[in-house]
Amino acid sequence: MDTFARYQQLKQEINFHLYRYHVLDAPVISDAEYDKLWNEFKALEAAHPNWVTPDSPSQRAGAVVSDKFEKVRHPRPILSLANAFGAADARAWYERIRKIDDRVEQAKFTVEPKIDGLSVVLHYRGGVFAQGATRGDGEIGEDITANLRTVRAIPLQIPVSSGQYSVSSTQKSETNIGQLSFLGNVSEENRQLPIPKTLVIRGEVFINNKDFEAMNTRLAEAGEKTYLNPRNSAAGSLRQLDPAITASRPLTILVYQVVYWEDEAGRQPPMAQSETLAWLKALGFPVSAAARTFDNLDEAIAYTETWDKRRDELGYEIDGMVIKLDDLRLADELGFVGKDPRGAVAFKFPAREVTTTLLNIEVEVGRTGVLTPRAALEAVEIGGVVVRNATLHNFDYIAEKDIRIGDRVLVKRAGEVIPYVIGPVVDARSGAEMAYIPPQACPACGQPVEHFEGEVAWYCVNAACPAQLVRNLEHYVSRGAMDISGLGVKIVEQLISAGLVRDVADLYTLTREQLLNLEGFADKKADNLLAAIADSKSRPLNRLITALGIHGVGEVAAADLAKHFGALDALAAATPADLEAIEGFGPNTAASIVDWFARPANQNLLAKLKAAGVWPVASQYPVTSNQSAALAGMTFVVTGTLPTLSREGVKEFIESHGGKVTDSVSKKTSYLVLGENPGSKHDKALALGVPVLDEAALRKLAAE
Ligand code: IVH
């Protein structure tokens, strides 16, 4: 083979591997093998500069654009979409177009994700990527060819072919968008993909959520400006004058439309949306794997609605789904209203991010004394819920994002996640915003706050802090700890505000008369509560250790300590070295335990507990819960009440041994962990033949 032929072969192979990696997400060679091809290719280009053409993979990061982008007139208007908010709107759209043309009644519909990115227009001449533009005003866009060339998922040459590799395997469709019926009934191998002389297509450039997070972390570490969300960063990245910067950003693309087609041989473009997607895919373009075609609107709507809940599965942001008439000729004939084609509609999902004003930053004191900043917001609706508060994570987060009081902030509320402040809209600042200084003292008790090595949080370490007392009691009585039923938050607050309880030990000296004086207490309620409190004295040692709420000591660590020391006196006398000798205990936890027992307030508490008869010795279960990987690769579902571990505790236990806990039983579930009064999960596990364990058997499995 002469060197030029070798050069051409390498070019084709490199393009193919870029396609496997960036479009299919399924590389067939290692990075090292790729580097070898690349080095050989670059050496040939260095020796023969006249061979280098714009579609060479080496030309992805080109020259800096002087000061602004050139204008490009689009060959056809780049249209927008009318919105539908819900199924009723989508049906109204259907009715409107059915009245115009009754062929709509027989129509099929293709549904695709509506990607929250930037519309771009790609020109191919003779199968080579020649120009790329932004949407602009729909008539004229900006020439961002050099930047688009850096997007590895955009083929510089179509079709992407395989060189020595088999292409056909790459073209097996994972979706039902797989039939190229417009090409007629030809065999797979003989199927010639028509590529017109001039082809202009449209797609959406965006950044996958994971890549966005990694990129922002990288930018923050380099001390550079971070972006608020993937869309802003995709926009910012595409508009860089230096393509080298764009090249460093993880942009990708999905394409969905043929805008323009010009072919000397008179061949026609695909006339159905499903076929367009199949054809684009076969040429090597990335198309959405979530696109589906349906026989009627009801099915299309049903499919669309499933994605509202599933949107996070896509790995990129969408703001809805697009429902398109599959018959593109019919869609074309229906025309448009303003800039919106009648043949498609954007079925919008509720926004998950909104901007509002940050009125104040409030600080809450948690059970363990951790101080958490919380945003007080101007009330705003997000996805049907009015949001007034949002988490700011921690004080470092506020500083890193430079969040100021009075800022317009972007707030996100997605699914079950607690609303959080993403960051400030810096461009909306008036100058009146105020930088935030974290408190030096606990807002509830005024004692100085402390910082633990290796943690971002600040703590109030005053055991008598009133804000902590409520949470301390809540924790003490909770199921995974002393499990005192009938002691809900309301009663806890009542007991504290009546001055009856100043620490958890005071629970044990409560009298019937005292309780009867409280609002809402009659004989029975008072007796039941006293009985439940008395009953808690028989809880095993590990439960009491958990209940003390020592920083860094959850149910699993508490069980280890109970097993190791056997009694509280021994634990109280432990040195850091004694504690660090236990597997799974590092210096931070050891220091935290020693610190807890050294505090006079806590020593006083222990004395009171002992006097009250709350002084158990080692737990009834042999605990072998040091960190291990005995449960690695296994998935557990828990149902019913276990003898010693709470719901959180069993999760912690399983995870600390490398296992995973999920909510619902499936064929993939390794074991069902069964307690008393199980739910329907037990029936399901039996039906699917999932093996069942009790707590003792789970502990045994973890110890193996
Ligand atoms: S079709 C005639 N399909 O949404 C074709 N648009 O709100 C009209 N978009 O301007 C567009 N994903 O930038 C279409 N799968 C998709 C899309 C999509 C995102 C964007 C596009 C459009 C905007 C309209």
Q: Which atom of ligand 1 is the closest one to the Cα of 112?
A: 15
pLDDT at 54: 81
- Ligand 1 centroid–CA 114 distance in Å is 6
Model pLDDT for residues 459-484, shown as the tens digit of each residue: 998 867 878 888 889 999 998 899 99
pLDDT at 349: 92
Task: Answer yes or no: is pLDDT of 658 > 70.
Answer: yes
Task: Answer yes or no: is pLDDT of 102 > 70.
Answer: yes
Q: Which of the listed residues 85, 119, 139 should we mutate to test ligand 1's pocket, taking the one with most ligand atoms within 8 A of CB?
A: 119
Q: How confident is the model at residue 626 (pLDDT cuts 50, 70, 90)?
A: low
Q: Which atom of ligand 1 is the closest one to the Cα of 319?
A: 19
Rg of the chain over Cα atoms, rounded to whole angstroms, equals 32
Pocket of ligand 1 (CB under 6 A): 79-81, 112, 114-115, 119, 204, 256-257, 322, 341, 344, 346
CA-closest residue to ligand 1 atom 2: 79
DSSP letter for 136, please.
T
pLDDT at 200: 97
pLDDT at 467: 82
- Ligand 1 centroid–CA 256 distance in Å is 8
pLDDT at 188: 47
Phi/psi region, residue 402 (left: phi>0; alpha: psi -120 to 50; beta: rest), is: left
* 87, containing H or E segment: helix 87-100
Q: Are 367 and 418 in contact (CB under 8 A)?
A: no
What percent of the chain has pLDDT above 90?
59
Q: Which residue has the higher pLDDT, 221 or 304?
A: 304
pLDDT at 60: 80
Task: State whether residue 63 is helix, strand or coil.
Answer: coil
Beta strands in 316-440 (DSSP E): 318-325, 336-337, 340-341, 344-348, 353-365, 370-382, 385-391, 408-412, 420-424
Residues in the chain: 704
From 108, 114, 324, 412, the catalytic residue: 114
Stretch 221-230: mean pLDDT: 88
pLDDT at 286: 95
Q: Are 285 and 195 in contact (CB under 8 A)?
A: no
Q: How far apart are CA 235 and CA 231, in angstroms?
A: 6
Closest CA to 700 of 618, 612, 623, 611: 623
Model pLDDT for residues 672-701, shown as the tens digit of each residue: 999 888 888 888 888 888 888 999 889 888
Task: Answer yes or no: is pLDDT of 411 > 90.
Answer: yes
Stretch 54-72: mean pLDDT: 81
Taking all residues of the chain, what is their mean pLDDT, rounded to a whole number? 88
Q: Which range (56-65, 420-429, 485-494) has the least confidence?
A: 56-65
- Ligand 1 centroid–CA 215 distance in Å is 26
Q: How far apart are CA 405 and CA 421, in angstroms?
A: 12
Task: Answer yes or no: is pLDDT of 369 > 50.
Answer: yes
Q: Which residue has the higher pLDDT, 351 or 200?
A: 200
Residue type, position 65, single letter:
V
| Global confidence as pTM | 0.69
Task: Answer yes or no: is pLDDT of 498 > 70.
Answer: yes
- Ligand 1 centroid–CA 113 distance in Å is 9
Model pLDDT for residues 512-540, shown as the tens digit of each residue: 999 999 999 999 999 999 999 999 998 99
Catalytic (active site) residue 114: yes
- Start-to-end Cα distance in the chain: 60
Residue 666, CB-side half-sphere exposure with 13 Å CA sphere: 7
Q: Which atom of ligand 1 is the closest one to the Cα of 288?
A: 15
Task: Answer yes or no: is pLDDT of 589 > 80.
Answer: yes
**111-to-24, 217, 304 alpha-carbon distances in Å:** 21, 34, 7
All domains in the chain, ordered by first residue: 3-59 (1.10.287.610), 71-348 (3.30.470.30), 353-435 (2.40.50.140), 458-611 (1.10.150.20), 635-703 (3.40.50.10190)
Cβ burial 592-610 (10 Å sphere, 16+ → b, else e): bbebbbeeeebeebbebbe
- Ligand 1 centroid–CA 294 distance in Å is 19
Burial of 704 (0-12, 13-18, 19+ CB in 10 A): exposed
Model pLDDT for residues 256-305, shown as the tens digit of each residue: 999 999 998 888 899 999 999 999 999 999 999 999 999 999 999 999 99
Model pLDDT for residues 334-363, shown as the tens digit of each residue: 999 888 999 999 999 988 898 999 999 999
Task: Answer yes or no: is pLDDT of 165 > 80.
Answer: no
- Ligand 1 centroid–CA 199 distance in Å is 19
pLDDT at 179: 42
Model pLDDT for residues 535-580, shown as the tens digit of each residue: 999 899 999 999 998 988 988 899 889 989 988 999 999 999 999 9
Stretch 100-129: mean pLDDT: 96
pLDDT at 618: 65
Task: Answer yes or no: is pLDDT of 414 > 60.
Answer: yes
pLDDT at 584: 84
What percent of the chain has pLDDT above 70?
93
Q: Which of the listed residues 109, 111, 114 should we mutate to test ligand 1's pocket, taking the one with most ligand atoms within 8 A of CB?
A: 114
Q: How confident is the model at residue 78 (pLDDT cuts 50, 70, 90)?
A: very high
pLDDT at 186: 36
CA-closest residue to ligand 1 atom 22: 80
Beta strands in 473-611 (DSSP E): none
CA-closest residue to ligand 1 atom 4: 114
Closest CA to 502 of 487, 492, 490, 517: 492
Q: Which range (49-53, 206-210, 327-331, 652-656) has the least confidence?
A: 652-656
- Beta-bridge mates of residue 372: 364
Q: Are 559 and 566 in contact (CB under 8 A)?
A: no
| Most confident listed range (21-30, 343-352, 661-670) | 343-352
